[in-house]
Amino acid sequence: MAVTMANPAMTAMLGTGDLDHYTVGAMTAHQMLLLTSIVAGLMGILLVARHTRGDEEEGRLELIRSLPVGRLSWLNATLIVQMGVFTLLALATGFGLAMLSIESIDREGSLLYGAVIGATGLVFAGVAALFAQLSDSSRGTVGYSIAILMIAYLVRAVGDVGNATLSWLSPLGWVSKAEVYSANHWGPVGLMSALALLLFIAANGLNAIRDLDKGLLPSTSGKTRASRFLQSPVGLVLRLQRTGLLVWAIGMYALGASYGSILGDLETFLQNNEMLSQMIGEIKGVTLTEQFIAMLMTVIALGATIPPMMAVNRLHGEEKKGRIEPLLVRAVSRSRLLGGYVVVGLLSGLLMNALATLGLWSAGQVSTADGLRLGAIYGAALAYYPAMLVMIGLSIFFVGCLPKLISLNWLYLLYSFIILYMGDLLQVPHWMEWITPFGFVPRIPMDDAAFLPLFLLVVIASALIVASFVGFRRRDIEAP
């Protein structure tokens, strides 16, 4: 395992680790700690943005300030809650790992593991609190904060692969410096705590001098007149979601590239990893690499389904905020408005799938001796698009007909991931795969191409989309 992880691509993705003493604990910290810390950072960003700029946009903060409370009370209340949340998260994670009773996962390392996650969450909660004063919208706060998170990840990746000094310039670089379950350095936790405190103080200082509903960064006035494309539903939807789609596009390419970078060491890696071997299974006449790529196509398709579902569900979010009524009173029909979201959803799903496949192929060309055939890989990935259409069609159907049940589609996607990705490991009955549309897709090159099930999936997706248009025209628009 340590040999597989000792390549620049894995170092850039996961950070540095103690590969000389690659115990279960060191392996867990190396492969999971950075990614978990990033999730904690995203959690801090979203929570702070929701309870600062989000409440300000909704008018709740103005009501609070009409009461005898201090000017800085709402911001500090939010930050205190974040401190409590991430402290509890750190303790729960640390003691939970310690209770596993694994020899190399000791109590000190486990508590440090949790502390690193909690401290990272606080740092990016502070980043979001700072940008909540600079930006004039919740969307801008989240966008700027995630941009800082991505820059921190990029600086850390460059530093870990090349110049180690750069890693110290990134809070995410400090995660690996803790050397959890190895040397157990607590210094990085202290650095992150100090940085979070400085960000909290800076956010309070800026909050004290800005006006309500205003940001300190100048907002662009934009053009006097919108272009013809922007005046169309598709153009408007793309304009509203361009940042999110761009971030997802980069992420999907990086996901494919990260998998492609390990294909060269795959045979050795799978032979020494019993769990992954069980997940993939054994098929005569098909190499382990081909089986692994077939499994990757499922993972890529499931991941590529998320952004189009989010894009379609955005219509319901705009509806709840009362932003689609002004559009509908103009010469824009409900069908045209919904159609804009449908077009963006369908095309973004195709694009995300293609970018992840391109990333897999481009990295695989470098990591493997014989290279990969782009046409064969993209054909295997494209076979999953009809199943993606069904999931996107379900999202459109819920938005158009049953908006209160939108969350059910996310549960359905989660079910699909668990059954298809871990079904062999969990030894679930084969019929459970047929409950999800992805279970009907042939796993090329292990299976022969079968066009009938793919055609039926397209028919089902089309029926769901048509039904959503009918339902959206007939149902009432929700009031904010």
Q: Which amino acid is at 400?
A: G
Structure tokens at 223: 């053009």
Q: SS3 for the chain, per residue?
A: CHHHHCCHHHHHHHCCCCHHHCCHHHHHHHHHHHHHHHHHHHHHHHHHHHHHHHHHHCCHHHHHHCCCCCCCHHHHHHHHHHHHHHHHHHHHHHHHHHCCCCCCCCHHHHHHHHHHHHHHHHHHHHHHHHHHHHCCCHHHHHHHHHHHHHHHHHHHHHHHHCCHHHHCCCHHHHHHHCCCCCCCCCHHHHHHHHHHHHHHHHHHHHHCCCCCCCCCCCCCCCCCCCCCCCCCHHHHHHHHHHHHHHHHHHHHHHHHHHHHCCHHHHHHHHHCCHHHHHHHCCCCCCCHHHHHHHHHHHHHHHHHHHHHHHHHHHHHHHHHCCCCHHHHCCCCCHHHHHHHHHHHHHHHHHHHHHHHHHHHHHHHHHHCCCCCCHHHHHHHHHCCHHHHHHHHHHHHHHHHCCHHHCHHHHHHHHHHHHHHHHHHHHCCCHHHHHHCHHHHCCCCCCCCCCHHHHHHHHHHHHHHHHHHHHHHHHCCCCCC
Q: Which residues contact 64 (CB under 8 A, 6 or more apart)?
A: 55, 73, 74
Which pLDDT belongs to residue 192? 96
Domain ranges of the chain: 2-207, 233-474
Which pLDDT belongs to residue 275? 54
Q: Which residues contact 171 (CB under 8 A, 6 or more apart)?
A: 120, 123, 124, 152, 192, 195
List pLDDT tens digits, range 202-244.
999 999 998 887 888 876 666 777 777 777 888 889 988 888 8
Which pLDDT belongs to residue 217? 80
Which pLDDT belongs to residue 330? 76
Which pLDDT belongs to residue 4? 57
CA 228/CA 244 separation, integer angstroms: 23
Which pLDDT belongs to residue 283? 55
Structure tokens at 11: 């170092």
Which pLDDT belongs to residue 3? 54
List pLDDT tens digits, range 355-379.
999 998 888 887 777 767 888 888 8
The CA–CA distances, whole Å, from 296 to 292, 360, 461 equal: 6, 9, 23
Residue 95 phi, psi (nearest 5): -70, -30
Measure the CA angle with vertex 50, ends 47 and 54; round to 5°.
Answer: 165
CA 113/CA 174 separation, integer angstroms: 12
Q: Return the residue matching tokens 């700072």.
A: 130
Which parts of the chain have pLDDT scores under 50?
Answer: none
Which pLDDT belongs to residue 280? 53
Which pLDDT belongs to residue 426? 61
